[in-house]
Protein backbone atom coordinates (compact mmCIF):
# COMPACT_ATOMS: atom_id res chain seq x y z
CA UNK A 1 0.00 0.00 0.00
CA UNK A 2 1.47 3.40 -0.94
CA UNK A 3 2.14 5.98 1.75
CA UNK A 4 -0.09 9.04 1.95
CA UNK A 5 2.82 11.50 1.66
CA UNK A 6 1.12 14.12 3.84
CA UNK A 7 4.27 15.44 5.50
CA UNK A 8 6.18 15.92 2.20
CA UNK A 9 3.15 17.74 0.76
CA UNK A 10 2.97 20.02 3.80
CA UNK A 11 6.71 20.68 3.67
CA UNK A 12 6.53 21.60 -0.02
CA UNK A 13 3.65 23.98 0.72
CA UNK A 14 5.55 25.48 3.67
CA UNK A 15 8.62 26.12 1.51
CA UNK A 16 6.46 27.73 -1.20
CA UNK A 17 4.94 30.03 1.44
CA UNK A 18 8.40 30.96 2.72
CA UNK A 19 9.44 31.83 -0.86
CA UNK A 20 6.64 34.39 -1.19
CA UNK A 21 7.43 36.01 2.15
CA UNK A 22 5.65 33.99 4.81
CA UNK A 23 8.88 33.25 6.67
CA UNK A 24 7.05 32.14 9.82
CA UNK A 25 4.93 29.51 8.05
CA UNK A 26 4.85 26.01 9.49
CA UNK A 27 2.62 22.98 10.04
CA UNK A 28 3.98 22.54 13.60
CA UNK A 29 2.23 25.16 15.77
CA UNK A 30 5.31 25.28 18.02
CA UNK A 31 7.35 26.55 15.03
CA UNK A 32 4.96 29.19 13.68
CA UNK A 33 6.66 32.60 14.00
CA UNK A 34 4.95 35.98 13.80
CA UNK A 35 4.71 38.38 12.05
CA UNK A 36 4.82 36.71 8.60
CA UNK A 37 3.05 33.64 9.88
CA UNK A 38 0.84 30.97 8.40
CA UNK A 39 -0.15 27.85 10.32
CA UNK A 40 -0.80 24.90 7.99
CA UNK A 41 -3.34 22.50 9.47
CA UNK A 42 -4.02 19.31 7.48
CA UNK A 43 -7.73 18.45 7.64
CA UNK A 44 -8.71 15.64 5.27
CA UNK A 45 -7.58 13.38 2.44
CA UNK A 46 -9.95 12.84 -0.49
CA UNK A 47 -9.75 10.40 -3.37
CA UNK A 48 -6.89 8.28 -2.02
CA UNK A 49 -6.65 4.90 -3.74
CA UNK A 50 -4.44 1.84 -3.35
CA UNK A 51 -2.46 3.17 -6.30
CA UNK A 52 -1.73 6.41 -4.39
CA UNK A 53 -2.57 10.00 -5.20
CA UNK A 54 -5.49 11.91 -3.79
CA UNK A 55 -6.05 15.41 -2.53
CA UNK A 56 -5.12 16.87 0.84
CA UNK A 57 -7.32 19.62 2.25
CA UNK A 58 -5.28 22.03 4.36
CA UNK A 59 -6.49 24.97 6.38
CA UNK A 60 -4.11 27.92 6.15
CA UNK A 61 -4.39 30.29 9.09
CA UNK A 62 -2.99 33.69 8.05
CA UNK A 63 -1.99 35.23 11.37
CA UNK A 64 -1.53 38.85 12.36
CA UNK A 65 0.23 40.11 15.46
CA UNK A 66 -1.76 40.54 18.65
CA UNK A 67 -0.56 44.13 19.23
CA UNK A 68 -1.94 45.64 16.02
CA UNK A 69 -4.82 48.08 15.94
CA UNK A 70 -7.90 46.91 14.04
CA UNK A 71 -7.14 48.78 10.79
CA UNK A 72 -3.52 47.59 10.68
CA UNK A 73 -4.66 44.05 11.43
CA UNK A 74 -7.11 44.00 8.53
CA UNK A 75 -4.52 45.49 6.20
CA UNK A 76 -1.94 42.81 7.15
CA UNK A 77 -4.43 40.01 6.70
CA UNK A 78 -5.57 41.37 3.32
CA UNK A 79 -1.93 41.58 2.17
CA UNK A 80 -1.42 37.99 3.33
CA UNK A 81 -4.41 36.84 1.32
CA UNK A 82 -2.92 38.46 -1.79
CA UNK A 83 0.42 36.73 -1.13
CA UNK A 84 -1.26 33.34 -0.95
CA UNK A 85 -2.88 34.09 -4.31
CA UNK A 86 0.60 34.30 -5.87
CA UNK A 87 1.28 30.61 -5.23
CA UNK A 88 0.79 28.27 -8.15
CA UNK A 89 -0.91 24.92 -7.82
CA UNK A 90 -3.23 25.86 -4.97
CA UNK A 91 -6.97 25.71 -5.32
CA UNK A 92 -9.64 26.64 -2.84
CA UNK A 93 -11.15 23.54 -1.32
CA UNK A 94 -14.65 22.53 -2.31
CA UNK A 95 -16.11 23.39 1.08
CA UNK A 96 -18.86 25.69 2.24
CA UNK A 97 -16.46 28.00 4.11
CA UNK A 98 -13.49 28.43 1.78
CA UNK A 99 -12.41 31.64 3.50
CA UNK A 100 -13.27 32.39 7.13
CA UNK A 101 -12.63 36.01 8.10
CA UNK A 102 -13.48 35.46 11.77
CA UNK A 103 -10.97 32.79 12.77
CA UNK A 104 -8.62 33.00 15.75
CA UNK A 105 -5.78 30.69 16.77
CA UNK A 106 -4.20 30.12 20.17
CA UNK A 107 -0.58 29.20 19.50
CA UNK A 108 1.83 27.80 22.09
CA UNK A 109 3.44 30.66 24.02
CA UNK A 110 0.48 33.04 23.66
CA UNK A 111 -2.17 33.67 26.30
CA UNK A 112 -4.86 34.99 23.95
CA UNK A 113 -6.01 33.85 20.51
CA UNK A 114 -4.47 35.61 17.52
CA UNK A 115 -6.80 37.02 14.84
CA UNK A 116 -6.56 35.11 11.57
CA UNK A 117 -8.05 34.54 8.17
CA UNK A 118 -8.55 30.84 7.42
CA UNK A 119 -8.35 29.54 3.87
CA UNK A 120 -9.35 26.00 2.97
CA UNK A 121 -7.15 24.81 0.11
CA UNK A 122 -6.57 21.55 -1.72
CA UNK A 123 -3.18 20.22 -2.80
CA UNK A 124 -2.41 17.07 -4.75
CA UNK A 125 -0.68 14.19 -3.00
Q: Is the pTM of this model over 0.85?
A: no
Which CATH number fits the domain 6-124, given the four candidates 1.10.3470, 2.60.120, 3.30.980, 1.10.287? 3.30.980
3-state secondary structure 1-50: CCCCCHHHHHHHHHHHHHHCCCCCCECCHHHCCCCCEEEEEEEEEECCEC
Label residue 47 left, alpha or beta by phi (over 0 means left) and psi (-120 to 50 means alpha).
left
Q: How far apart are CA 33 and CA 42, in angstroms?
A: 18
Judged by DSSP in three states, 82 sits in helix
Kindly report, residue by residue over 39-83, the tens digit of the pLDDT: 999 999 988 877 777 889 999 998 876 665 556 666 766 776 677
Domain boundaries, the chain: 6-124
Give the model's pLDDT for residue 66.
Answer: 60
Amino acid sequence: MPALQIRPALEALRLALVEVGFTGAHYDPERVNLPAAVWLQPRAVHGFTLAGGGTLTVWLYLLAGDGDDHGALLSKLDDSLLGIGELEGLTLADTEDQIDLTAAVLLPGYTTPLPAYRLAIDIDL
